């Protein structure tokens, strides 16, 4: 059954400094707990000190989470790339999926990594602006 009043947004930002494995782990733990509480799902990409995040959920709750993100002092230069109404979730099973190309910053299992890489592949049939942005960030970032 479709959820009413769903929105998604994508933003980019830069870490104020390169984050350690422990800092990434803590950031993800906090985000996952908060997102679960507010019914938000999505993915965080972190490559070379740069973030791109896609989040989706009920419009009002998305506003609350985005306000928290904007105030976070671990990043700077936040730019909203897209915000749009959506008919269904793309990351419905992930309170916050995570992917990086920085081996020392990776948190997760190899099977989780491959699943997220598959999600980041651009679909052939009418991809959303958010999917195009995520794919571009992932594809153009260092290997």
Q: Are 48 and 141 in contact (CB under 8 A)?
A: yes
The whole-number pLDDT of residue 83 equals 94
Alpha-helical regions (H) of the chain: 21-38, 59-71, 110-120, 129-140
How does pLDDT run across 79-129, given as a tens digit for each residue? Answer: 999 999 998 888 887 888 787 777 655 666 666 666 667 666 766 677 777
Query: Alpha-carbon distance 5 to 17, whole Å?
Result: 36
Domain ranges of the chain: 6-140
Do 61 and 116 contact (CB within 8 A), yes or no? no
- pLDDT of 111 reads 63
Residue range 61-86: mean pLDDT, rounded: 94
101 touches 25 (CB < 8 A): no
The CATH architecture assigned to 6-140 reads 2-Layer Sandwich (3.30)
pTM: 0.84
| Residue 110 confidence (pLDDT) | 66
Mean pLDDT, residues 3-31:
91
Q: Which residues partner with 13 through β-bridges?
A: 51
């Amino acid at each position: 059954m479709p959820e009413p009043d769903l929105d998604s947004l994508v933003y980019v930002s830069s870490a104020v400094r390169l984050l350690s494995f422990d800092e990434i782990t803590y950031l993800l733990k906090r985000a996952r707990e908060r997102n679960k509480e507010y019914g938000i799902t999505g993915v965080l990409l972190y490559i070379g000190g740069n973030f791109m995040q896609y989040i989706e959920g009920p419009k009002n709750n998305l506003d609350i989470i985005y306000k928290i993100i904007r105030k976070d002092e671990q990043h700077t230069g936040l730019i909203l790339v897209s915000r749009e109404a959506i008919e269904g979730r793309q990351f419905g099973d992930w309170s916050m999926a995570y992917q990086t190309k920085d081996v020392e910053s990776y948190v997760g299992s190899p099977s989780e990594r491959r699943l997220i890489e598959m999600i980041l592949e651009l679909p052939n049939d009418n991809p959303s602006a958010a999917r195009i942005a995520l794919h571009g960030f992932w594809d153009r970032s260092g290997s």
